[in-house]
Structure 1
Amino acid sequence: MKKPLIGALSALLLAGAGGLAGAAPAAARTAEPAPPKAAAPVAVDFAGTVALSNCSGSLVRLPGSAAGDPALILSNGHCLETGMPGPGQVVTNRSSNRSFTLLSSSGGRLGTVRASKIAYGTMTDTDVSIYQLTSTYADIQSRYGISPLTIADTHPVAGSAIKVVSGYWKRIYSCNVDGFVYRLKEGSWTFKDSVRYTSSCNTIGGTSGSPVVDVATGKVVAVNNTGNEDGESCTVNNPCEVDQSGKVTVRKGINYAQETYLIPACFAPGNKLDLNRAGCVLPKP
Structure 2
Amino acid sequence: MPPMPLLRARRVASLVAPVLLVLGVMSAIDASAAPSTGATSTVIVSAGADAAGRFAGTARLPGCSGGVVRWPGALDTDRAVVITNGHCVRSPFLGAREVLVDQRRWTRIELLDASGEVARTVRGVRLVYASMFRTDLAVLSLRETYAELAGSGVEPLTLAGGGPSRGDRIRIPSGYWTEQRACATRGTAYRLHERSWDWWRSIRLPARDGCAIRGGYSGSPIVSRETGLVVGIANTGYVGGRRCVDSACEEDRRGRVRMVRHMNYGQQTSWVLGCLDGGRTFDLGTPGCRLAKPRG
Give the direction of change, closer, same or farther, for the CA distance of 1:146–1:263 in structure 2 (3 Å limit).
same
Deviation at 1:201, TM superposition (A): 0.2
Deviation at 1:120, TM superposition (A): 0.5
Query: Match of 2:129, as an amino acid?
Result: Y
Q: Which among 226, 250, 270 is matched to residue 236 of structure 2?
A: 226
SS at match of 1:130: strand
Alignment of 1:148-163 (within 5 A): 148-163=156-171
Query: Match of 2:230, as an amino acid?
Result: V
Give yes or no for the alignment of 1:4 onto 2:12: no
Aligned counterpart, 2:191: 183
SS at match of 2:186: strand
Instruction: Give, in whole Å, the separation in 2 of the partners of 1:82 and 1:96.
Output: 14
| Greater RCO, CA 8 A, separation 6+ | 2
Deviation at 1:217, TM superposition (A): 0.8
Give the direction of change, closer, same or farther, for the CA distance of 1:241–1:270 in structure 2 (3 Å limit).
closer
SS at match of 2:185: strand
Instruction: Give, in whole Å, the separation in 2 of the partners of 1:5 and 1:155.
Output: 26
Deviation at 1:82, TM superposition (A): 5.0
Instruction: Give, in whole Å, the separation in 1 of the partners of 2:206 and 2:72.
Output: 28
Alignment of 1:198-209 (within 5 A): 198-199=206-207, 200-209=210-219
Instruction: Give, in whole Å, the separation in 1 of the partners of 2:11 and 2:178.
Output: 16
- Asked if structure 2 preserves the Cα contact closer than 8 Å seen for 1:2 and 1:206, the reply is no
- Asked if structure 2 preserves the Cα contact closer than 8 Å seen for 1:124 and 1:190, the reply is yes
Aligned counterpart, 1:121: 130
Deviation at 1:218, TM superposition (A): 0.7
Instruction: Give, in whole Å, the separation in 1 of the partners of 2:97 and 2:129.
Output: 13
Deviation at 1:155, TM superposition (A): 2.8
Deviation at 1:102, TM superposition (A): 1.0
Query: Match of 1:63, as an amino acid?
Result: P
Aligned counterpart, 2:45: none
TM-score normalised according to structure 1 size: 0.84
Query: Match of 1:93, as an amino acid?
Result: D
Percent identity over the alignment?
Answer: 37
Work out the number of aligned pairs and report it: 253
Instruction: Give, in whole Å, the separation in 2 of the partners of 1:226 and 1:174.
Output: 16
Instruction: Give, in whole Å, the separation in 1 of the partners of 2:73 and 2:232.
Output: 18
SS at match of 1:281: coil
Give yes or no for the alignment of 1:173 onto 2:177: no
Q: Which among 58, 64, 67 is matched to residue 67 of structure 2?
A: 58
- Asked if structure 1 preserves the Cα contact closer than 8 Å seen for 2:116 and 2:175, the reply is yes
Instruction: Give, in whole Å, the separation in 2 of the partners of 1:123 and 1:42.
Output: 33
Query: Match of 2:236, as an amino acid?
Result: T
Query: Match of 2:290, as an amino acid?
Result: V
Query: Match of 2:59, as an amino acid?
Result: V
Q: Please give the root-mean-square deviation of Cα atoms over the aligned residues, in Å.
A: 1.7
- Asked if structure 1 preserves the Cα contact closer than 8 Å seen for 2:100 and 2:130, the reply is yes
Ranges of 4+ aligned residues in structure 1 off by more than 6 Å: none
Deviation at 1:242, TM superposition (A): 0.6
Give the direction of change, closer, same or farther, for the CA distance of 1:118–1:82 in structure 2 (3 Å limit).
farther
Deviations 1:100-140 (A, max 9, x none): 11112121122201111000000001001110010111110
Deviation at 1:176, TM superposition (A): 1.1
SS at match of 1:96: strand
Instruction: Give, in whole Å, the separation in 1 of the partners of 2:163 and 2:55.
Output: 23
Aligned counterpart, 2:30: none
Aligned counterpart, 1:259: 268
- The more displaced of 220-229 and 59-68 is 59-68
- Asked if structure 2 preserves the Cα contact closer than 8 Å seen for 1:57 and 1:74, the reply is yes
Aligned counterpart, 2:155: 147
- Asked if structure 2 preserves the Cα contact closer than 8 Å seen for 1:70 and 1:270, the reply is no
Instruction: Give, in whole Å, the separation in 2 of the partners of 1:267 and 1:113.
Output: 24
- Asked if structure 2 preserves the Cα contact closer than 8 Å seen for 1:182 and 1:192, the reply is yes
Instruction: Give, in whole Å, the separation in 1 of the partners of 2:214 and 2:63.
Output: 12
- Asked if structure 1 preserves the Cα contact closer than 8 Å seen for 2:10 and 2:215, the reply is no
- The more displaced of 153-162 and 211-220 is 153-162
Query: Match of 2:186, as an amino acid?
Result: D
SS at match of 1:263: helix
Deviation at 1:42, TM superposition (A): 5.3
